[in-house]
C-alpha cells in the first residue's frame, strides 16, 4: 500500500529563517536517531551556502508525519537563483511562505511568491521570528495580504491560512496566545491545506527532470516528480529531449527520499519525488516516459538572463602561476558543464577562441559561479558586468529592478540623491520609529552596477539593501555613475612600505607591502578623476647615517580589501578582474597604458 503524499516547497526572502525552520521540522519528525549529532542548517550542503548563510541550490528531503510522506523542497530566497525556484515549483502542490514578523515581505518574497501564485499554488503563510522583541506580526500579515492582492492572487489564494512560529526556538502555533510547544501545528497545516499530488498511476509513465546530480558509481542522476504512471527498478524507459528525439535506456537505480538520505526502492507511482540513474544525456526540463506510449510534458520555462560578462583566459604577467586549470579548453568545458544544471545561465562563444560571453540573472548569480570555479582550481579573468537590452514593440528596453533600502535616518538624503543620479524613482518611504527608514525604488539594472560600494559608504556600513528583477521598460537615458580614477602599478616587482607610504596622499590602496605587482595592475583608487601610474616597488636608499627619527613607529593607512563581489562592482569597462584560487586582482585591459 502506497503512503499518502504531500509535496510542499518552502519559499522566503533571504535571511527570513527558512533553512532554520526546515531544521526544526526535520528534528521533530524523528528522522535523527537518539543521541545523533544534529548539524545546523542541514539543507545548506554547499560550502558557499554555509559561509554566506543563503540557499543557492534547491534541495529536497522527506519526512513522515502520521503515516503521510511529506516531501519538503527548500528553494533559494534570492532572485538571482530564480532558475532554481521556477523548475522546482512544478514538483510541488503547495508551498509555505515564510515572512519575518518584523520586516514583513521583502523584494525576494515578491519574486518567489509571484512564481508560486502563477503556478496556482495556495500558500500557507508562516510569520517567523515572533519571539523577537521588535516583532509586529499583525502589521506583517497585513503587508502580506496587500502583496497577495498586488500580485493578482485569486480569492481562494487570498484566504490563506497563517501561523506564528520561531524556527530557532522550534515552535509554531495558530494563535499568538497559544503555548510555545512544537512544530505540530505546521505539520497539521500541511496535511489540511496542501492537496495530494494530482496524477493517475494507471496512465503511461511520465517524469519531468527538475534537478541533476552526479555519482561516481551511478553516473548522472535525475530527480523529478512522477506526474503519471508507475515506475519499477530495471524497467525500460524513453528520454524525450528538447528537440523531441527519443532515447531508450534502462533504469539502473531507483531511489526515494527518507529524511536526508536516498534509499533504494523497487517501485514508485504518480506523485512521488524520486531519483533515477541510467540516463547519461538527460537535461533539466526533459521528460522520461513509458517506451510504449511516450508523451512529453511541457518544457520548463525560465526567465531570460539580464546581465552578461566576458570570461577569458588569464593573460596577465602572472598567468598560470596559481591555477590548476588555465587553458581555454578547460574554461569552456567547465562552463558547458555548468549549463547542464544551471538552467538560468547562458554561455555563447565570441570572436576570440579564448573568450566566452556568460549571461545570468544578476551579479550574485554570476559571482557564485566565479567563486565556485576558483575554488575548483580555475584561473581566468572576467570583465565588467553589462546589462542585456531587448527590443520590445520596436523600441529598445532595459531591465529594471525593485530596490528596498533599510538605512539609518541620517543616510536617507544621500541614498535618495545617489539613486536619483542613477535614474532611480522612489516608490515608497516608511519611517520605522527606531531611527531607521525603509526606502523603495525602481532603478534600471545598470544603475545598480557599482552602487553597493557607494551605499555602504553612505550608510556607514549600517544599511541593508535588497533588490529583485521587476520588468523590462524603455531605456531611461544616460546615467551619472562617476568614479575616481585608479592607481596603476608602473612596473613588475614587490610593493614596498617605503613606496606606499610616500604615495599615501595620492589615494587609497588595495594592496599591502610585500604584494607582488605587475605593470598595468590596479593597486588603488586615485583621489582625482584621472588614472595615475605609480612606482610602488621603489626602495629606500640606504646610507651609513643613522636617522634621528629612524626608531619612530610609522603606520600605513588600512588598505581596502577587494572581495570578488566588490571587485566586480568596482571595475569599469576598460578593466578586468583576474581570478585565481589564491588571489583576486584588478587590472587594465590594455597593457600599453598612457600616462596622464
Annotated binding residues for GTP: 15-20, 128-131
User: Crossing angle of helices 412-421/451-458, nearest 10°?
Assistant: 160
Alpha-carbon span 61 to 80, nearest angstrom: 23
Residues in the chain: 596
CA distances 409 to 173, 218, 392, Å, are 35, 57, 39
Q: CA-CA-CA-CA torsion for 539, 545, 550, 555, nearest 10 degrees?
A: -10
- Per the rule left: phi > 0, alpha: psi between -120 and 50, beta: everything else, 427 is alpha
- Burial class from Cβ neighbours inside 10 Å (0-12, 13-18, 19+) for residue 432 reads middle
CA distances 196 to 65, 75, 110, 265, 409, Å, are 14, 20, 26, 21, 49
CA distances 157 to 113, 120, 149, 172, Å, are 11, 8, 9, 21
Are 279 and 213 spatial neighbours (Cβ–Cβ below 8 Å)?
no
Are 95 and 11 spatial neighbours (Cβ–Cβ below 8 Å)?
yes
* Nine-digit cell string for 230: 508507475
Alpha-carbon span 248 to 331, nearest angstrom: 32
- CA 467 from chain center: how many Å? 12
Q: What residue numbers does the annotated binding site cover? A: 15-20, 128-131
* Nine-digit cell string for 132: 523577537
Alpha-carbon span 479 to 447, nearest angstrom: 7
* Nine-digit cell string for 269: 507511482
Q: Which residues contact 118 (CB under 8 A, 6 or more apart)?
A: none
Are 569 and 450 spatial neighbours (Cβ–Cβ below 8 Å)?
yes
The values of phi and psi at residue 74, to 5°, are -90, 125
DSSP string, 371-422: HHHHHTTB-EEEE--EEPPEEETTEEEEEEEEEEEEEEGGGHHHHHHHHHHT
CA distances 310 to 43, 371, 453, 469, Å, are 32, 15, 22, 21
Amino acid at each position: 500500500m502506497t503512503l499518502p503524499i504531500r509535496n510542499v516547497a518552502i519559499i522566503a526572502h533571504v535571511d527570513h529563517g527558512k533553512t532554520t525552520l526546515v531544521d526544526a521540522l526535520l528534528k521533530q519528525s524523528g528522522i535523527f536517531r537518539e543521541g545523533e549529532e544534529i548539524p545546523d542548517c542541514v539543507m545548506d550542503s554547499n560550502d558557499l551556502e554555509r559561509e554566506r548563510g543563503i540557499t543557492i541550490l534547491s534541495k529536497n528531503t522527506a519526512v513522515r508525519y502520521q503515516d503521510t510522506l511529506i516531501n519538503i523542497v527548500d528553494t533559494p530566497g534570492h532572485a538571482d537563483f530564480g532558475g532554481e525556484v521556477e523548475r522546482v515549483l512544478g514538483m510541488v502542490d503547495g508551498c509555505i511562505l515564510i515572512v519575518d514578523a518584523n520586516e514583513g515581505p521583502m523584494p525576494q518574497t515578491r519574486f518567489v511568491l509571484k512564481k508560486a501564485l502563477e503556478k496556482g499554488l495556495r500558500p500557507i503563510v508562516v510569520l517567523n521570528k515572533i519571539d523577537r522583541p521588535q516583532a509586529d506580526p499583525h502589521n506583517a500579515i497585513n503587508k502580506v495580504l496587500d502583496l497577495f492582492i498586488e500580485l493578482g492572487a485569486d480569492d481562494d489564494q487570498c484566504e490563506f491560512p497563517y501561523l506564528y512560529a520561531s524556527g530557532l526556538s522550534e515552535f509554531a502555533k495558530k494563535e499568538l496566545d497559544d503555548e510555545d510547544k512544537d512544530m505540530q501545528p505546521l505539520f497539521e497545516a500541511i496535511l489540511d491545506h496542501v492537496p495530494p499530488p494530482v496524477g493517475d498511476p494507471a496512465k503511461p509513465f511520465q517524469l519531468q527532470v527538475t534537478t541533476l546530480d552526479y555519482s561516481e558509481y551511478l553516473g548522472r542522476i535525475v530527480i523529478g516528480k512522477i506526474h503519471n504512471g508507475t515506475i519499477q527498478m530495471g524497467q525500460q524507459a524513453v528520454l524525450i529531449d528538447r528537440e523531441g528525439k527519443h532515447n531508450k535506456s534502462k533504469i539502473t537505480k531507483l531511489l526515494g527520499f527518507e529524511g536526508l538520505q536516498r534509499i533504494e526502492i523497487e517501485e514508485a507511482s504518480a506523485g512521488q519525488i524520486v531519483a533515477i540513474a541510467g540516463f547519461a544525456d538527460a537535461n533539466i526540463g526533459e521528460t522520461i516516459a513509458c517506451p510504449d506510449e511516450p508523451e512529453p510534458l511541457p518544457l520548463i520555462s525560465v526567465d531570460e538572463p539580464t546581465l552578461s560578462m566576458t570570461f577569458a583566459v588569464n593573460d596577465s604577467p602572472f598567468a598560470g602561476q596559481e591555477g590548476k586549470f588555465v587553458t581555454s579548453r578547460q574554461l569552456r568545458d567547465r562552463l558547458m558543464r555548468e549549463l547542464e544544471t544551471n538552467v538560468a545561465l547562458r554561455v555563447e562563444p565570441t570572436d576570440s577562441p579564448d573568450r566566452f560571453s556568460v549571461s545570468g540573472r544578476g551579479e550574485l548569480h554570476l559571482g557564485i559561479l566565479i567563486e565556485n570555479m576558483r575554488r575548483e582550481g580555475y584561473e581566468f579573468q572576467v570583465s565588467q558586468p553589462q546589462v542585456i537590452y531587448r527590443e520590445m514593440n520596436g523600441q529598445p528596453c532595459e531591465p529594471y529592478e525593485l530596490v528596498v533600502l533599510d538605512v539609518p535616518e541620517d543616510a536617507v538624503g544621500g541614498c535618495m540623491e545617489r539613486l536619483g543620479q542613477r535614474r532611480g524613482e522612489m516608490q515608497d518611504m516608511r519611517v520605522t520609529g527606531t531611527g531607521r527608514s525603509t526606502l523603495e525604488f525602481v532603478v534600471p539594472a545598470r544603475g545598480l552596477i557599482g552602487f553597493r560600494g557607494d551605499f555602504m559608504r553612505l550608510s556607514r556600513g549600517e544599511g541593508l539593501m535588497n533588490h529583485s528583477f521587476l520588468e523590462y521598460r524603455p531605456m531611461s537615458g544616460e546615467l551619472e555613475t562617476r568614479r575616481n580614477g585608479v592607481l596603476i602599478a608602473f612596473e613588475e616587482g614587490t610593493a614596498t612600505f617605503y613606496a606606499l607610504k610616500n604615495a599615501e596622499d595620492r589615494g587609497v590602496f588595495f594592496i599591502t607591502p610585500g604584494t607582488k605587482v605587475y605593470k598595468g595592475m590596479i593597486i588603488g583608487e586615485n583621489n582625482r578623476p584621472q588614472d595615475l601610474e605609480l612606482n610602488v616597488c621603489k626602495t629606500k636608499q640606504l646610507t651609513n647615517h643613522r636617522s634621528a627619527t629612524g626608531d619612530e613607529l610609522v603606520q600605513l593607512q588600512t588598505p581596502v580589501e577587494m572581495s570578488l563581489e566588490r571587485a566586480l562592482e568596482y571595475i569599469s569597462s576598460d578593466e578586468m578582474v583576474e581570478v585565481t584560487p589564491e588571489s583576486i586582482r584588478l587590472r587594465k585591459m590594455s597593457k600599453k597604458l598612457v600616462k596622464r
